[in-house]
Chains A and B, each alone.
Chain A
Amino acid sequence: MIRYLKIYYSLIKLNLAALLIYRSNFFASVFSNLLWGIFSIITMAILTSKTKYVMHWSRNELLLLIGFHNVIWSFFQIVFVHNFYDFSRKINKGTLDFYLLKPLDSQFLMSFSRIRFESLLRFIMGVGYVMYMLHVLHVPFHVTQVFFLIFIGIFSVVIFYSIWFLFSTLTIWLTRLSNISDMMNTLSGVSRYPPDIFWEVSLTVGVLLFPLLLAIATPVQILLQKNVTNNSILLILFSCLLLVGTRVFWKFALRYYTSANS
C-alpha cells in the first residue's frame, strides 16, 4: 500500500511536470472545464425557472444537488477521467502490454496514470458554490459533517469509477467503441437529477440506474439533514460490490486481451 502511494506521488509530480510544459493548453482546458461547470448550474437554474418544486425537491435543493455533483464530478475528472479516455487507445494500440509487463498492478496503472489538474478550479468553485447554497438554504453546517461528507463522497466517487471501469473494460472485446467514455459521460449525468423522477417513470429504469442515482443524491440529502440511513448503507454496499466487480471483471477480461504488438 505504501509502495503504491509513493508511486502515485511520483505520478502526480510527472503529470504536473507535463502540464507545465504546455501551459497555454492547460489554461485553455481550465477555462473550458470551468465553463462546463458554470453551464451545468445555469442549465439547472433554467430548468427550474418554471417550477418551485420537482417531486419533493425544491429549486434551491436542486441547485445544491447540481453544485455537489460538480464537486464530486470534478474530483472524479481530476483523478480518473483522462485514464478512461485513454483506455481504448491503449487497448487498440497494444500499449497495455507495457502496463502488463510492469511489476505493478495493471488496474492501478490503467486507472491512475494520468491526472487532470485542469478540473481543480472547477472543484474549488464547486465547493464554494455548495457552501453558498447551504447558506441560502439556512442549513447549519458542522465540522463533523465535513468529515462524514468526505467519507460518503469517497463512496460516490467509487461508484462512478466502478461503472466507468466496467464499461471501459468492454473495449477489450469491442475495440471499435472508443467513444464509450463519451457515452459514460452522458450516463453519469443522471446523477445530477433527483432520483425520484426516474422511479416515477419505471421501476426497471430506477433499478438499473440505482447506483448512479444514489451517488450524488444521498450525500446531498445528508447535507440537508434528511433521514437517509438506508440510502447511505446502500451507497456504501453498492460501491464496495461494484469495486470488487471491477477487479473480477478486469482479471477476466485480460484473458481475452490480444496485444496489437505481438
Chain B
Amino acid sequence: MRYWRIFLLHFQDAFYNKSRSLVWFLISLGTGAILIVYWFAIYKTQGGALTNWSLSNVSSYYLLLIIVSSGIMAHHDEDIARLDIQEGDLVRHLLRPFSYFWLLYFAEVPWRIIQGGFGVVVFILISFIFPSLISVSHSLVIILLSFFIFFLASLLSFIFKTILGLSAFWVTDFRGVQSVFEVTILVLGGFVLPLEFLPQVIKETSFMLPFSYMAYFPIMAIQGKLVLSQLMQVIGIQLLWIGILLVLYKLMLRSGLKMFTGVGQ
C-alpha cells in the first residue's frame, strides 16, 4: 500500500511536468521519424523489399521503437550517479524504511507510463492515417505474450540502468561509463537498425547480451516475427537476465555502500 502511495506521489510529479515528458517523447519520435524517412529513401532507391523486410515491417519497427525508447527504456541512471551517489542524496533514501530498489522503481515508472502513453497514441494515430506503414501480429495469444515480454523488457532495462548508476560508487565521472553503455545499447539493442541486418558476429553477440531483450525482441514479438516457442524462449532468457542482474545489483549496492561517505564526491 505504501509503495502505491509513493507511486501516486511520483505520478503526480510526473504529470505536473508532462510538458517536459512531451519534449522527451518528441526526442524519441524525432529520432524514429528520421530513420523511417531514411529507410523510405532506401526502399525507393532499391525499388522493393530489403531481404525479407518490407517497408511496412521497417516502419512499424521504428514506430514501435519510439514506444520502447519512451515507455520501456529507463533513464534514471544519471540521477542515481549524480544526485544519489556523487551529491550524497543516497543518505536520505537509506534512512527510509523502504527498499531503495522499489523507491527508484516507483519514481521511474510514472515517467515511463506518461511518455509511453504518448508513444501509444502516436502509434494508434499513424495506424489509422497510414495503415500500410503498420505491421503487427493479429493473434491474441502472441499479443498478450508480447505485452508480457514488454513488461519484462522494462524491468530488465530498469535493473540494468540501476546497476549502471551504481557504478558511480567507483568512478569519479560517470559520463564515460554511461557513454560506453549507451552506444552499446543503441547498436546491440537494435536502436540503429534491426539486428537482422547486422553482420552475423555482431548479431550473435547481441543475442548473448541483455540489450536485445530490452528492445529488439519485444518489437519482433509484437510484429509476429516470432513463433510461440521462440516467444517462450525470449521470456525465459529475459527472466534469466533479470535474475543475474538482480544478484549483481545486490552485490554492487552492498560493496558500494562500504565506500559511500554520504558527503558527496
In the complex, A117→B265 CA distance in Å?
23
Asked if A230 is an interface residue, CB under 8 A from chain B, the answer is no
Residue in chain A with minimal CB distance to B28: A186
In the complex, A84→B26 CA distance in Å?
19
Q: Choose from A32, A39, A176, A197 the contact partner of B37 (Cβ within 8 Å).
A: A197
Q: Is the CB of A197 within 8 A of B30?
A: no
Interface stretch (choices B139-147, B172-180, B218-226, B246-254): B172-180
In the complex, A178→B17 CA distance in Å?
11
Contacts of A42 in B (CB 8 A): 187
Asked if A111 is an interface residue, CB under 8 A from chain B, the answer is no
Q: Is the CB of A53 within 8 A of B45?
A: yes
Interface stretch (choices B98-106, B156-164, B190-198, B232-240): B190-198
Asked if A28 is an interface residue, CB under 8 A from chain B, the answer is yes
Please provide the chain A residues from 184 to 213 with a CB less than 8 Å away from any CB of chain B in the complex.
185-187, 189-190, 193-194, 196-198, 200-201, 205
Asked if A136 is an interface residue, CB under 8 A from chain B, the answer is no
Asked if B121 is an interface residue, CB under 8 A from chain A, the answer is no
Asked if A182 is an interface residue, CB under 8 A from chain B, the answer is yes
Asked if A177 is an interface residue, CB under 8 A from chain B, the answer is yes
Q: Is the CB of B45 within 8 A of A24?
A: no
Asked if A180 is an interface residue, CB under 8 A from chain B, the answer is yes
Chain B at the A interface: mostly helix, strand, loop or mixed? helix
Classify chain A's interface size: 35 or more
Using known A-B contacts A51-B42, A54-B41, A197-B40, determine if residue A36 contacts B179 with beta carbons closer than 8 Å: yes
CB distance from A97 to the nearest CB of B (A): 24
Q: Is the CB of B172 within 8 A of A25?
A: yes
Q: Is the CB of B42 within 8 A of A182?
A: no
Asked if A49 is an interface residue, CB under 8 A from chain B, the answer is yes
Number of residues from B at the complex interface, CB < 8 A: 36
Contacts of B198 in A (CB 8 A): 46
Q: Choose from A25, A53, A55, A185 the contact partner of B173 (Cβ within 8 Å).
A: A25
Asked if B34 is an interface residue, CB under 8 A from chain A, the answer is yes
Q: Is the CB of B31 within 8 A of A43?
A: no
Apart from the given pairs A29-B175, A32-B175, A177-B19, 13 other A-B contacts in the complex at a CB distance below 8 Å: A24-B172, A28-B175, A36-B183, A39-B183, A43-B187, A46-B198, A49-B199, A51-B45, A185-B27, A193-B34, A197-B41, A200-B41, A201-B37
Contacts of B186 in A (CB 8 A): 39, 43
What is A's interface to B at a CB cutoff of 8 Å?
24-25, 28-29, 31-32, 35-36, 39, 42-43, 46-47, 49-51, 53-55, 174, 176-180, 182-183, 185-187, 189-190, 193-194, 196-198, 200-201, 205
Cβ-Cβ contact count across A and B, 8 Å cutoff:
104
Contacts of B193 in A (CB 8 A): 46-47
Residue in chain B with minimal CB distance to A56: B45
Asked if B128 is an interface residue, CB under 8 A from chain A, the answer is no
Chain B 109-141: CB-based contact to A (< 8 A → 1; otherwise 0): 000000000000000000000000000000000
Contacts of B175 in A (CB 8 A): 28-29, 32
In the complex, A51→B192 CA distance in Å?
15
CB distance from A226 to the nearest CB of B (A): 18
Contacts of A180 in B (CB 8 A): 23
Using known A-B contacts A39-B183, A183-B30, A200-B40, determine if residue A50 contacts B50 with beta carbons closer than 8 Å: yes
What are 8 pairs between A and B in contact, CB < 8 Å? A28-B175, A36-B179, A47-B38, A50-B50, A177-B23, A179-B27, A183-B30, A201-B40
Q: Choose from B34, B179, B197 the contact partner of A49 (Cβ within 8 Å).
A: B197
In the complex, A53→B31 CA distance in Å?
22
Residue in chain A with minimal CB distance to B41: A197
Contacts of B180 in A (CB 8 A): 35
Using known A-B contacts A54-B41, A54-B45, A183-B23, determine if residue A32 contacts B178 with beta carbons closer than 8 Å: yes
Interface-central residue, A51, A194, A198, by most chain B CB under 10 Å: A51
Q: Choose from A28, A32, A55 the contact partner of B41 (Cβ within 8 Å).
A: A55
Using known A-B contacts A46-B187, A183-B26, A200-B40, determine if residue A176 contacts B20 with beta carbons closer than 8 Å: yes
Q: Is the CB of A189 within 8 A of B179?
A: no
In the complex, A196→B51 CA distance in Å?
24
Q: Is the CB of A179 within 8 A of B24?
A: yes
Q: Is the CB of B34 within 8 A of A189?
A: yes
In the complex, A176→B24 CA distance in Å?
13
In the complex, A39→B175 CA distance in Å?
15
Q: Is the CB of A187 within 8 A of B30?
A: yes
Q: Is the CB of A29 within 8 A of B173?
A: yes
